[in-house]
Amino acid sequence: MSSLPETALAIADAVRSGAISARAVAERTLARIEAKNPELNAFVTVAKEELLAGADAVDAKRARGEPLGLLAGVPVALKDALCTRNLRTTCGSKMLGAYVPPYDATVVTRLRAADALVPGKTNMDEFAMGSSNESSAFGPAKNPHDPSRIPGGSSGGSAVAVAAGLAPVALGSDTGGSIRQPAALTGTVGVKPTYGRVSRFGLVAFASSLDQIGPFATDVRSAARVLAVIAGPDPRDATSAAAEVPEFEAACGRSVSGLRLGVPDEYFAEGLDPAVEASVRAAILRLEEDGCTVKRVSLPHTRHAVATYYVLATAEASSNLARFDGVRYGLRVGGESRGTGTASALRAMYGATRDAGFGAEVKRRILLGTFVLSAGYYDAYYAKAQKVRALVRRDFDRTFAEVDAIVCPTSPTPAFRLGEKTADPLAMYLSDVYTLPASLAGLPAASVPCEPVTFAGAAGALPVGLQIIAPAFREDTVLSLAAAAYPS
């Protein structure tokens, strides 16, 4: 078993050449999940039969002499916000605890077309609202570097699956940092593509003007390959962009010499852990040694990003989550008198369903979002936040006239302890301070591991992430720099 390759690229190459079988990879995956998932809680649903059947189908295809796809035999763990045909999709919520979609998300269709395998669905903050995976209805996933600590969120389970070797790659979704922050805290590679680069058809919507799907991987090239498979326009998602998809894998081998990097003052400010800062600055120095030029830049509206995001994202969430009413999807509580009932009985059913189905954080966000959209407050909050979002975007536009990419920390701190911030939503929201601006501006960004740091009280060294942000549709620049910063 130990002779099987670990990275997605190496697995695909070996399966395609016939050096190993997809069945052997699938069996190893299941054995690891069985051994480690009880402690780490990365998967909420393990698709054992589907995984084995999928692996056998790939091996049979090869035996027939048919060409295999770019991810042949590669298990791709899927965040449980992505709809999977005939496989339970909970979004980390009791509301969808028994929901089995009749269709695949476009990204899942594309993975299957590339001969990838689905080992199961990963744990996440409820409806992707959170930074620690602690709002999941299934309990938190644990950080494999120290199981008393959070793995980040909301795509915590996907990050843990990759970090612990349960799957070589995974998909997550990132609305305000939910791929990059857990990647940073678990020592994995995470890429949030440009808004519009990847179809969201079949992703349970949180904040539609921000949501993007992207990969986690052990190495940058594997992330690039997964991104290449899932990217590109989709007639089923009107926000998916027509922009041509560059050669992402080739970008990983490109020299970064001569690239101009901006280091924003606002990302090295109060609240940044000094050990994280030292690790990130050392990573930037290494990029300089590779021939990049480095200069200080300023993104002055960064300080408004947290407030802006939490107005806009909650407003959009309150609208998107209105569909969970006990009628159309998922859970229903009460309403037995349906058909003969009165309007007040119907309203009681809506209320009972939403009260039982949503957890505290989701309720808080629906209330906040409803408030900022309500007559009399709309201009003061929602309309104002839209304007500030434009200013945040303009900061980046101005800066990208001078530099090719921005480099900074992904998260101000390493993984914190389970329970440390659950009683203080504002402290939790502040852990997104460095990931939210690129989301508001719709820009591509990645987190790659830099030197781990040792903290008093931590079981071992804790991972730190370097964030790389580039202009829209320049994932190729992000990937070139990511591969240089984190060679494999």
- Residues in contact with ligand GLN by CB under 6 A are 128-131, 154, 174-178, 206, 313, 432
Identity of the residue, 128 or 468, whose beta carbon is nearer to ligand GLN in the bound complex: 128
Look-up of token digits 């199981």: 147
Identified catalytic residue from 178, 279, 439, 447: 178
Q: Identify the three-state secondary structure at position 365.
A: helix
Instruction: Residue 415: name the closest of 438, 431, 426, 434 by CA.
Output: 431
Give CA–CA dist 383/250, Å, rounded.
42
Look-up of token digits 């060294």: 461
- Give CA 432 to chain center in angstroms: 13
Instruction: Residue 449: name the closest of 409, 413, 417 by CA.
Output: 409
Identity of the residue, 230 or 251, whose beta carbon is nearer to ligand GLN in the bound complex: 230
**CB 359 within 8 Å of CB 137:** yes
* Strand residues in 417-484 grouped as ranges (E): 445-453, 462-469
* Least gap, CB of 104 to ligand GLN (angstroms): 21
* Least gap, CB of 205 to ligand GLN (angstroms): 11
Identified catalytic residue from 79, 142, 192, 421: 79
State the SS3 of 214-236: EEEECCHHHHHHHHHHHECCCCC
Instruction: Please confirm, yes or no, whether 154 is among the known catalytic residues.
Output: yes
Give CA–CA dist 81/480, Å, rounded.
29
- Helices and strands in the chain: count of H runs, count of E runs: 16, 11
Instruction: Please confirm, yes or no, whether 21 is among the known catalytic residues.
Output: no
Identity of the residue, 54 or 157, whose beta carbon is nearer to ligand GLN in the bound complex: 157
**CB 219 within 8 Å of CB 263:** no
* Least gap, CB of 186 to ligand GLN (angstroms): 15
Instruction: Please confirm, yes or no, whether 337 is among the known catalytic residues.
Output: no
Which residues are bridge partners to 462 per DSSP?
453
* Least gap, CB of 90 to ligand GLN (angstroms): 15
* Least gap, CB of 180 to ligand GLN (angstroms): 9
Identity of the residue, 239 or 293, whose beta carbon is nearer to ligand GLN in the bound complex: 239
Identified catalytic residue from 21, 93, 136, 154: 154
Identity of the residue, 185 or 252, whose beta carbon is nearer to ligand GLN in the bound complex: 185
* Least gap, CB of 120 to ligand GLN (angstroms): 20
Identity of the residue, 166 or 313, whose beta carbon is nearer to ligand GLN in the bound complex: 313
Give CA–CA dist 115/123, Å, rounded.
24
Look-up of token digits 């959170």: 130
Look-up of token digits 């589907």: 50
The closest residue (CB) to ligand GLN is 178
Catalytic site positions: 79, 154, 178
